[in-house]
Structures are given as structure tokens and as C-alpha cells.
Amino acid sequence: MAAYFCGHFSYMEFVLILILGGTIDGATYNPLPFSVAVMVLERLLIKCECNMEIVFATNNLHKLEEISALLGENFQLLGLKDLNISEEIPEDHATLEENASQKAWYIYNRTGKSCFADDTGLEVSALNGAPGVYSARYSRMGEITFPDMKPAEGNIRKLLMELEGVTEREARFRTVIALILNGVECQFEGIVKGEITLDSSGAEGFGYDPVFRPAGYHKTFAEMDLELKNQISHRAKAVQQLTEFLTGM
């Protein structure tokens, strides 16, 4: 079944549009045939029981605690460690949407449980959207640059080197979450715009946070306290859409 971007709709609004026809993110869907509509209803119109289990395809305890608090008591959020899944989950596609979907379907097919996965990339306008889906391994792409550095440090050094002398430094962080609920996939997107600084600054956060300054702020993500960053970040926006969708069931 196709993936649908559901970030602007509640759970029930999404179900009605999917069955009766309507527009989701600019794409128009015709009403479903009766037999298909019955199948979708069977899969989606399931009231959320107390402690409904849902799997987040991560072993990051901080992420699990944060999202568990947002979802509330109607959900029991499980991580990969809870299911004894230790193998590397494949993510070998060319877009964030495809990678998030691939990871989510891998876990769903492996466990049969409703689940979600995310993928994040930094997209720099002057580099035609790079590093994008390759953000985590940017310095390892092609000829390895800064092999003696940790990957995150090497990624930042490579990015700054490629932007040396460039004055237009607009960039954005983008997170895509793929949710598979009873065999139907929905996707949610969070974006924060900003710019790449000339030098690294700040000791908090991770990844490209020391060189990304969000629009409207004078600090990089790495200079911000975690509470503020979690209010405005790309991941926070995608997670908010996810939690609003799930808690609206």
C-alpha cells in the first residue's frame, strides 16, 4: 500500500479522506471501491486500547523517553532492544522518505507490530541539497576525507571546506518519520530552515549542530539548551505531527 503524508490531518480526518476521497498534500485521491474501503476500515478504524504497543526503530533511550512522554499512557512504546533486535537495519535508498519507509517496513515485517522509523538529513542550497540523505557518512562518501577524525567531526570539516568562500549559506534540516499502523503507512515531515556558520560553535547536540544556526536565532543548535532546541527542531516538528496523529485515534 502507498505511503501518505498525514502531518496536517488528525487520524480520523485521514481515514475519511482515504475512504471517501479528497486531497492530501496536493495529491487527490478518488473514493475507494467498497471492498477496498472495508479492508481499510478493518485495518485503521481500531480504537486505541490502553497500553497499545508501538515500536520505535531506535535504541536511543533519550528518544524513546521523549516520545513516550508525548504519546501518553494509551501507548506502550518499545525500542529495538525490547524486541531483541540487534542487527543493522537497512537504509540504502536515495531519499529520506524511502529510508524511513524501508526501516519501518523492515521492523513491521520482522515483528508484525505497528511501528515507526525516522531519517534526517542536512540540505544545503549551495551544494544542491547535499549532504542530504548521506549526512551521517558525508566525509566517507567517495574519497574519504579526514580519515583520522570521528565521522561527525569529519563531516563538519568537509562541509565547511566545500563552503569555503561561499556567501550564500542557506540550509535546512529535514526529518521524515514513517509510521506503519496495522499495515498502512503514513509519513510526517519536519523542517527547520537556517544557515551554515563559518566556524563550529557550541558543545551541545550532535552531528552538524555546531555549524547550523536556525533562522531567527543568534545561536547554533549546539549553543542552545536542549529544551529550546527540542521546541523548534526539525525532529520535534515531525514528532509533534506523529503524536497528534496517534493521540487523535
Whole-number pLDDT of residue 146: 78
Whole-number pLDDT of residue 29: 61
| CATH classification (class only), 3-247 | alpha beta
Q: Is the pLDDT of residue 73 over 90?
A: no
pLDDT (tens digit per residue) in 159-192: 999 999 999 999 999 999 999 988 889 999 999 9
Name the band, by pLDDT with cuts 50, 70 and 90, for residue 210: very high
Residues in CB range of 81: below 8 A, 6 or more apart: 59
Whole-number pLDDT of residue 21: 64
Whole-number pLDDT of residue 48: 47
Angle at 17 (CA atoms; ends 69, 237), nearest 5 degrees = 30
Whole-number pLDDT of residue 72: 77
pLDDT (tens digit per residue) in 17-61: 666 666 655 666 677 676 666 666 665 555 445 567 899 998 888
Active site residues: 119
Q: Is the pLDDT of residue 149 over 90?
A: no
Whole-number pLDDT of residue 117: 95
Task: Give SS3 for 161.
Answer: helix
Whole-number pLDDT of residue 47: 47
Name the band, by pLDDT with cuts 50, 70 and 90, for residue 7: low
Name the band, by pLDDT with cuts 50, 70 and 90, for residue 63: confident
- The percentage of the chain sitting over the pLDDT mark of 90, rounded to a whole number, equals 51
Whole-number pLDDT of residue 226: 83
Cα–Cα dist 138/103, whole Å: 20
Whole-number pLDDT of residue 54: 92
Residues in the chain: 249
Mean pLDDT over residues 195-220, rounded? Answer: 94
Q: Is the pLDDT of residue 247 over 90?
A: no
Cα–Cα dist 188/237, whole Å: 9
Residues in CB range of 34: below 8 A, 6 or more apart: none
- Mean predicted lDDT score pLDDT of the chain: 85
